[in-house]
Each structure stands twice: as C-alpha cells, then as structure tokens.
Structure 1
Amino acid sequence: MSRLPSLYISHGSPMTALNPGLVGERLAALAARLPRPRAIVMASAHWLTHQPVVGGHAQPPTIHDFGGFPQALFDLQYPAPGDPALAQEIAQRLTAAGLPTAIDPQRGLDHGAWVPLRFLYPQAEIPVVPLAIQPLLGPAHQFALGRALAPLREQGVLLIGSGSITHNLHDWRSYQDGKEAPYVRPFIEWVEQRLQADDSAAVLDYRRQAPHAAQAHPSDEHLQPLHVAMGAAGGDALGAQRIDAGIDAGFLAMDIYRFDGADAQQRAA
C-alpha cells in the first residue's frame, strides 16, 4: 500500500461549502492525485480540548457549529462513516507516546472537517475519525500528536490538519472591497520558506519568529493543525509542497500543504 502524505488545509469560512472558489478546485485536484485512503483522521481547529481526545462514533453526525448563515448551509450533510477500531488504535498510539488520550463516542464532524472533505471526497464514503487539538498545550504538543500518528500513513490513513494559514476575524469586513490585509503575504511567504527549508523549529516558534504573527493569528487554534500535519510527515524532512488557493475576503489565506516527508525526493524524481 502506498504511503499517503499528511495534509494541512485552510478551510475558510463555512460559506466555502456553498461558494468553494479556488479552494474547491485545488482540493478536488489534490484528491485525484492521492492514493485512495482507507480512512481519514481529521484534526480540526474547531474541536478544542484540554487533553487529547479522539472521536469514536460509528456514524459521526454533521455538526453545524455556526450561526447567521443561509439555511442552505444548515441543510448540508456529510454522512461519512466513522471507524471506532481506528479511534481505539489512535488512542493507544498517543497514550503510548506519553499523550494519554480519551475517546468521545458521540463526537461528530464540525465544519472544519466536513467543509473541506466535501471537495476532497464528495461521496462521503471514506471513514473519518475526528481528532481534537489542545491549543493551550502549544505547537510542540500538536507536533507530537502528528509524529505519534505518522506510522498510520503507511496503513492507508490520510492525516489532515484543518485550520487557516491566516485567521484574524477582527478583520472581517475590513477588506471586503478588494483590498488585502498587509500582513497576509509576508506571513504566508515566511511560512512557506521555513517549511521548504525543513525548519520545523522555526514554524513551531512562529509567534516569536514570523512577521506579523500576532496579526495573522490573534489566537493559535487555526494554525496548530499545521503543526499536527508537520509532525505526521514522520521525520526531519517535511517534503512540504504549498498549494496556493488564493486569499478570501482579503485576510483569510487559503493555502493548502501536503507533506510527503522523505518520500518527496522520490516524487520529484
């Protein structure tokens, strides 16, 4: 079985589900290039806990964790099955790595999970296991989560972190007239440079080192799924490839990353 990459996806506004724009095209094209996974593990910026938790629901419900949007958005469902056996394995792997993990048998799929999955795998036939992140424990903790789960890539499991490469909702409406927030491009360019240089330490320390970090991310939760995906690359070589999906509303950069780890050189050959 081919080893899958890990992914980081900027999922954008919930309205991306109805108006996917460039990100929908990019995700569909990416899925077409990947070996078909037997299951997906999704670490979403919208499931936040104090300690590691994995979802063990056999049929995760679609969670509409937002308000004030059109009814058409609330009508959408993503009826993918879960995989309780895989959830058990994830909990065991994380616990063995010193990250004691609980199983939530009721957890469904929030919009950070089902919105991008609609475009990756629209038939919703691949089992999905949600994984919480713990922002208060910091980027290195999320990296350790991903590293502990990296061996699952060899078993046909697609590991995804879903967040947003920039996420400052204070700027909502400020750049609706076609202007672009001045911090967005310097920040995303710095991230790309550090990832392509395999400089995980710098990206984990982004709040001190990256330009405009506090403007790009007033809080950490939407970038930390990137650290999960980086850890899931499985080694010092990240094999990072940026997929540009544009900038939404002038302040939400929609970058997608795939991490092939040491396999990246083979892909390039």
Structure 2
Amino acid sequence: MLPSFFIAHGAPLLAIEDNEYTQFLNHLGKQLPRPKAIVLFSAHWESPVQKVSAVDNYSTIYDFGGFPEALYTIQYPARGSKEVSKEIEKLFVEHGVPYEVDKERGLDHGAWVVLRLLYPEADIPVISMSVNPKLSPVEQYKIGKSISKLREKDILIIGSGGTVHNLGALKMGNGIGQIDDWALDFDLWLERQLNNWDLESLFNYQSSAPSSSLAVPPYGNEHFIPIFYAMGAADDHQKAALVHRSYRYGNLSHSVWQFGGKM
C-alpha cells in the first residue's frame, strides 16, 4: 500500500532550479512504486465546498507573476481519470462529505511544480482536489480519511503546501541553509506532534505551537492545512516520517512528510 505525503511546493522557481530539494523530489519519484493515479490537494485551489476534478486533459495554470519568462513556457500536460474521480465521489457520499465536480480547471503551480519534479513525463493520471481553509482541522482530516482506501489501489495521495509559509517574512537574499529560529522552532514542534500522531495538539496548533502566527499567518493557513488532508488519508496506519527538510529565504520550508508506514 502506498503512503500518503505532504510535500512543500516552495516558490515557483523550483520548477527551473537544480538544488538539494529538487534533486530529492526527482529521487523520490523514482523510488516510489509507480502509482496508478495521483490525488493531489493543492493550497492554491481554495473552495468553500470540496472540489473533485474530472478533467480529460489539464491545462497549465501560471498563478504567479514577476518570475523569469522560462516559467511561463512550462507545460505539464497531465491527463485526468474519470474512473478515479468517480471512486472519490462514491467515497465522499459514503462518508457524508459534501463535494462538487469540476470539469474545467487546470493544474495550478501548487500541483504541477511538485508533480513535474516527481514525474516529469506527465504520464500518470491526476485528480486535482481543492482545500477549504475555513474548515476546522478535524473536518480537513476527515476528508482525507474518507478516501484512505484509495491507497489500497495503488493511488498516491498528496497534500501540497508548506509547513512554514509567510511571504511577508521572507528574506529573499538568503539562500539555502540560513534558518530563522522561529521557523525552526515551529517545525521542530510539528515534528514532535506528528511523530506521536498527537491529533489534539495538531488540531489546536494555533494555540499550542511556538510562533504559529508567524509560521502559519491567519491569511495564509491554506498552505499548512494540506497536511491534515494527507494525514487523514493515512489514518488506518498512524505513522509519520520526516523524509526531507530544508529552507529557502530564511524561513520558507521545504518539508516532505510521509504518512502511513513504509513504501
């Protein structure tokens, strides 16, 4: 059975960079058993009701500005899977999760940057999923849990976001390896709770975690919450493993968490 993952998508520049993190994701894609399909919850697709994509062929969305022209020429022509989308719909009905089907939206950079680094050939079907920052962590976890059976069918479930993501605090002159204390403190707290699968503390991270208002600012929690969807998808085997962590710009985390045991 495949594990689920929380994967930081960092800045869009990762799509054209060669560094420690991009090399790790390249290797991870080769190391994982080849999935039948990929279900990805992206921080850059917010909706008040859970969205399930049912797209034949995805367009590539450039939901960013001010970056090198090379980024705007990248294509990630992934196809969808109506079969897997229907399976997700069925599971949502069984577990009482309200949802809507989307037949038009392409892949935002929270999805295609990660997917292109993992599977550059774009030859694995993708089902794109929205996130809802206004739901409680309990409800976000429940949505992930409701589709956990997909992992038994060799379907890879990913939450794409960032454990520490505060654009207002970035230090653009800082490279890899320079880490603000507050960012590291938050991630180390998170590591302890994830290793213990301490849902009570995690669900109350805003009051429990050090520097939570900096690491997960009130206007930017959409990047943190995909971790709850990914955790919920591994509720049947409550085991977490940090498989990569690095930083850019002083505090932008490149964390990758694996949930659900060994590959």
Matched, 1:166 2:164: yes
Q: What does residue 42 of structure 2 align with?
A: 44
Find the aligned partners of 2:75 and 2:245 in 1 and give their Cα distance: 24
Deviations 1:14-57 (A, max 9, x none): 11111142221111222222111010000000000001111111
Q: What does residue 225 of structure 2 align with?
A: 224
Deviations 1:72-125 (A, max 9, x none): 001001111111221122122113211111100001110000001111111110
- The residue type equivalent to 1:238 in the other structure is Q
> Is the contact made by 1:196 and 1:238 (CA closer than 8 Å) also made in structure 2?
no
Matched, 1:77 2:75: yes
Find the aligned partners of 2:85 and 2:150 in 1 and give their Cα distance: 12
5 Å-filtered alignment, 1:109-258, equals 109-173=107-171, 176=174, 179-218=178-217, 219-235=220-236, 237-258=237-258
Find the aligned partners of 1:45 and 1:229 in 2 and give their Cα distance: 12
Aligned pairs, number: 260
Find the aligned partners of 2:73 and 2:172 in 1 and give their Cα distance: 29
Deviations 1:188-231 (A, max 9, x none): 11111111112122112111111111100103100110001100
Deviant stretches of 4+, over 6 Å = none
- The residue type equivalent to 2:151 in the other structure is R
Deviations 1:149-190 (A, max 9, x none): 100000010000000110001113366377532211111111
> Is the contact made by 2:170 and 2:252 (CA closer than 8 Å) also made in structure 1?
no
Find the aligned partners of 2:104 and 2:35 in 1 and give their Cα distance: 24
Structure 2 unpaired stretches of 5+? none
What is the TM-score with the length of structure 2 in the denominator? 0.94
What is the TM-score with the length of structure 1 in the denominator? 0.92
Find the aligned partners of 2:240 and 2:213 in 1 and give their Cα distance: 24
> Is the contact made by 1:161 and 1:229 (CA closer than 8 Å) also made in structure 2?
yes
- The residue type equivalent to 2:228 in the other structure is H
Q: Give 1:103's match in structure 2, choosing from 101, 104, 128.
A: 101
Percent of pairs with identical residues: 38
Structure 1 unpaired stretches of 5+? none
* Displacement of 1:69: 1.0
Find the aligned partners of 1:27 and 1:68 in 2 and give their Cα distance: 25
Find the aligned partners of 1:136 and 1:64 in 2 and give their Cα distance: 25
Find the aligned partners of 1:25 and 1:130 in 2 and give their Cα distance: 24
> Is the contact made by 1:91 and 1:100 (CA closer than 8 Å) also made in structure 2?
no
